[in-house]
Amino acid sequence: MQKKILFILTSILMIIGLCFNVYAAENIALRIDDPIMQADGAGKEIDEYGTAPVIVEGRTLLPVRAVVEEMGGSVDWNSEERKVTLTKDDDVIVLTIDSKDALYNEQVSELDSTPVIINNRTMLPIRFIAESFGFDVEWNEDTKTVNISKNTQKASDITTEVTTEQATEAGTEEISVPDNNSGSNAIVVYFSRAGENYGVGNVEIGNTAHIANFIIDNTGADSFEIIPEVPYPEAYDETTKIAQKEKNENARPKYKGEADLSSYSTIYLGYPIWYGTMPMIVKTFLENNDLSGKTVIPFSTHAGSGWGSSLNDLKELCPDSDIEEGFSVAGTEAANAEDKVKNWLEQR
Ligand SMILES: Cc1cc2nc3c(=O)[nH]c(=O)nc-3n(C[C@H](O)[C@H](O)[C@H](O)COP(=O)(O)O)c2cc1C
C-alpha cells in the first residue's frame, strides 16, 4: 500500500515537473544587485533567498539555476562530487565547483572562470551556458543588466521588418496634439500600448491608458498621448524584442506631434514598465520637454515588478521638477482600478 502511495506521489511530482519545464522564456534580463529578474517582460524573484547577480573581481556572476530553469532547462546538483548538471532538450552541460573544466555533450571545454557557490547558489558568468543552449548574451554597462535572448531569430532582423512595414502605415495616422481647451492647469501625458498584453490577452485599450482615462475623468485634466511614429507590433513577443533592443541601445524612439506644456503646472505622467523601467519613448518625451518647476505625478502599470528603476530615471531626467508620490498597479487590474485611482486622487 505504502509503495502504491509513493508511486502515485512520484508520478504526480514528475507530471508537475514536466509542466514547469514546458514553459521557456525567450528573453531573460538580470541586473546587478537586483533580486528580481525579468522573464519575457514579467518580473519575478530569482529565488526565495533574495539572490541577486553580483560582480566579483570584475566578472558578472549570475545564479545558474534560475537562469537555466527560465530557459526551460533543468538543474541537478551532486553535493558529493560538487557537480552541477544542466540539461536542456538534448544538450547536457556538467560543471564542477571551483574548476574551469566543463563538459558540454561529453566534450571538455574550458570556462573563462570557475563556478562558485555564494549563499548556497551556484554562480557563474553565464555566457558559456547560454550560448551552448542557443541564447545570446548582452551586457548593458549603463543599466548593469545582462540580457539573455533566444537566438533562433535575431532581434535586429525582426526590428527591421517591423519598422519598414509599419513606417508606411504610420504616415497615414492622425498626429496627437494636446486637448488644450479646458483651462485646466493639469495634463495627463501617457504612453500605452494596445494589442496583445501580458496577462490580459489582446486588448484595444492599453492598461496604462485605462488609468490615464480614470485620471482625466476624475480631475478634468487635459491629455497628451505619446503615440510612437512607428507603432509597436500587436504581438507581445515581437514588442518585447524591439523594446529590449531599444533599451540595450539606449534608443530614443520618436513620437507623433508635440505637447505644449507651457500652460500646465501639473503633469501626470503614465507609462507601462518595460524591462524594469519606463519605455524609451517616454524618455524621448522627457528629454524633448522641459518640466523644470512643474509638479510631476507618475503613474504606471506593470506585470509584477512595480516601479522598477523608473522613479530614479524620472528624477534624473527631471532634476528640477517636484516629483510627487505616484500610483502604480498591476496591468491585469488596470481596467477595474477606477476606485483605487479615485482614492489615490482624493488622498493626495
Ligand atoms: C516590452 C515589454 C516589457 C515589459 N517589461 C516588464 C517589466 O520589466 N516588468 C513588469 O512588471 N512588466 C513588464 N511588462 C508588462 C507591462 O508592464 C504590463 O503588461 C503593462 O501593464 C502594459 O501596459 P500598457 O498596456 O499600458 O502598455 C512588459 C511588457 C512589455 C510589452
Check residue 48 and report its DSSP letter. Answer: T
Q: How far is the CA of 238 from the centre of ligand 1 (A)?
A: 13
Picking from 6-15, 197-206, 298-307, 318-327, which range would have the lowest pLDDT averaged per residue? 6-15
Check residue 228 and report its DSSP letter. Answer: B
pTM for this predicted structure: 0.57
Q: Is the CB of 38 under 6 A from ligand 1?
A: yes
- pLDDT for 29-60, tens place per residue? 999 889 999 998 888 899 888 888 888 766 77
Closest ligand 1 atom to Cα of 191:
26
Q: How far apart are CA 271 and CA 283, in angstroms?
A: 10
Q: How far apart are CA 39 and CA 237, in angstroms?
A: 11
Mutate to test the pocket of ligand 1, among 159, 274, 311 (most ligand atoms within 8 A of CB): 274
Which residues have C-beta within 8 Å of that of residue 164, sequence separation ≥ 6? Answer: none
Q: Where are the beta strands (DSSP E) in 178-230?
A: 186-190, 195-197, 201-203, 222-225
Q: Is the CB of 240 under 6 A from ligand 1?
A: yes
Sign (positive or negative) of CA dihedral 179, 180, 184, 190: positive
Which residues have C-beta within 8 Å of that of residue 254, sequence separation ≥ 6? Answer: 228, 229, 230, 281, 284
Give me the pLDDT at residue 211, please: 97
User: Which candidate, 298, 328, 145, 166, places its Cα nearest to that of 231?
Assistant: 166
| All cell numbers assigned to 244 | 529590449
Mutate to test the pocket of ligand 1, among 196, 302, 307, 333 (most ligand atoms within 8 A of CB): 302
Question: What domains lie within the chain, and their CATH numbers?
Answer: 22-150 (3.30.457.10), 156-347 (3.40.50.360)
- pLDDT for 128-153, tens place per residue? 888 888 888 888 877 888 889 887 53
Q: Which residue has the higher pLDDT, 334 or 203?
A: 334
- pLDDT for 220-247, tens place per residue? 999 999 999 999 999 998 999 999 999 9
